[in-house]
Structures are given as C-alpha cells and as structure tokens.
Amino acid sequence: MSIAVLGAGCFWCVETIFLQLHGVNEIISGYTGGHTKNPTYKDICSGKTGHVEVCKILFDTKIITYEDILKLFWEIHDPTTLNKQGSDIGTQYRSAIFYTSNKQKDIAIKYKEELNANNKFTNAIVTELTKLEEFYVGE
C-alpha cells in the first residue's frame, strides 16, 4: 500500500472523486502544511494556521500508480489559481502535493514541468510541492 497526500480544494469533494478509482483502498481527509499543532476545522478556516485541506489516499500500487493518481489530481481542479478552488477561497484550499519520498517528489516535479511546458493550462501552475510532515485527521 502506498500513500498520496493531495490538496485540491475542499477535501470532501476530492475524497468523493478519488474513492471512485479502482485501486484506492481508503481516503482520510485532514490537514497538513501548517504550523499549529492539532488544528481543528475552525482553526483551518481562520487562515492563520497555514494548513491545507488534504486527502491522504491509500492505494494499491499493483492496481494503480502514483502517476495515475497525479493525472486525476491535475484534472479535477485548477492548479493555476492561488489559494482558491471554485467558490472556496483561502490558503486552506491551495493546490498542493505533499510527497512522502524523493521518488514521489521527482515524479510530481516532472509532471508539473511537462504540463507547464506543454501549455496544458492558460496560466502557470502554482501547485505547492512539499515534503509531508505532520498529518492531522479532520473532524
């Protein structure tokens, strides 16, 4: 089992989409990327904790790859808008990939660079790439 941790707006919306993928065994909605210990949803919504709403996706690499997970990630949200997805506005909704290994980091960087080079989006991708540190399960 492998883990992908992604922020693409409201975690409930992201969770619903990724649960449909064959090979995804579990998704845990939560928060990461901030400086406050044990944040709550209310804390996150204040915009003062630095956290992102994310989904921790547990997937079977015999069935689906990390690249497949990222392909859907890039398709389900606008990675060119800073701190905004649809009508959700705030730093907690920023586009983010929290990698768990150098291999994941390299794959994400390469994918992002290819999308920018091929002008997949009108504007440049602003998706944050950060090493996963603390993950807090959402309420």
Positions marked catalytic? 10
Q: Which residues are within 8 A (CB) of 75 and not within 5 positions of it... i.e. 6 or more apart?
A: none
Distance CA 95, CA 107 (A): 16
Alpha helices by DSSP H, the chain: 11-18, 41-45, 66-76, 102-117
Q: Are 9 and 77 in contact (CB under 8 A)?
A: yes
Distance CA 81, CA 104 (A): 23
Distance CA 132, CA 54 (A): 11
Q: Are 83 and 126 in contact (CB under 8 A)?
A: no
